[in-house]
Amino acid sequence: MKTPHDKNNGPVLREHSYDGIQEYDQKLPNWWLATWYITMVWFVIAWVAYYQFGLGQSDTHEVEQAMAKIAQQQKQELELINDDKLWAMSKDPKVVEAGAATYATTCVACHAADLSAHLAGAKLPGLPLIDQEWKHGGAPTQILTLVRKGAPDVTKGMPPWEPQLGLQRVVEVVAFILSKHNPGEPITLAADSPLKK
C-alpha cells in the first residue's frame, strides 16, 4: 500500500479510510488551478470596477436603453406613416392579406368577420367598420391611432392593440379595414363622437 509520502508518480492513498473507502490525495491539474485563480482575480477586478468605481452598466440600465431605442425607432416609423401611405398599403394584396389574418384572430369577436359588428342578427360590442360613420375619426391616421392606443375610455371602447400586436401588425389591420373603403368617400362623425365636443 502506498503512503502519502511516496515519491511515485501514481496516485497517493491517504492513510485513513472513511465509510470503508480509502481516498486519494492527488494534486489538482494545473490547468484547472490556473482557471480557478484567473476566475478569482477576475472577480476582484470586476467587483472593484463595477461597485467601487461605477464602471459598466446594470442590467436594468441596459434594458432601459434598449427600450428607449425601440421607442425611438417606432417614433421614426410612425412619422413616415400618413394617410396617403395607409391608403397605398390598403391596395397592396400582401399587406391586406396579413392584416386580414390578424383581424381574423383578434378583431372578429367585437367587429365580426364582415366588419359589420353583427353576428346572426345580434349586435357585437364593437362598432361597424364598413360604413362611413366613425366615432373617433375616419381618416386613416385617426383609425391607426385608435387601434394603436385604444379608445380614450377603455371601459367603453376598444383596448390598445399595439402592445400585443406591435406596430407593423396594427398597420396591416388598418390597411385591411381601409381596403373595404375608398379614398375620398364622405366621412361622418357619430352622434356620440368625442371629437364633436
Query: Percent of the chain having pLDDT more than 70?
Result: 91
Q: What is the mean pLDDT of residues 139-143?
A: 88
Q: Please identify which residue in the block is written with the cell numbers 490525495.
A: 25
Q: pLDDT band at residue 139, thresholds of 50, 70 and 90?
A: confident
Residue 146 CB burial class (10 angstroms; 0-12, 13-18, ≥19): buried
C-beta atoms surrounding 17 within 10 Å: 10
Q: pLDDT band at residue 124, thresholds of 50, 70 and 90?
A: confident
Domain ranges of the chain: 13-52, 67-196
DSSP for residue 160 = P
Q: What is the pTM of this model?
A: 0.63
pLDDT tens per residue, range 8-50: 556 666 677 777 777 777 788 999 999 999 999 999 999 998 8
pLDDT tens per residue, range 162-174: 889 988 899 999 9
Residue 2 is predicted with a pLDDT of 45
Residue 101 is predicted with a pLDDT of 94
Domain 67-196 has CATH 3.30.10.20: no
Rounded Cα distance, 158 and 177, in Å:
15
Rounded Cα distance, 97 and 109, in Å:
19
CA atoms within 13 A on the CB side of 35: 5
Backbone torsions φ then ψ of 127, nearest 5 degrees: -95, 155
Are the CB atoms for 56 and 49 separated by under 8 Å? yes
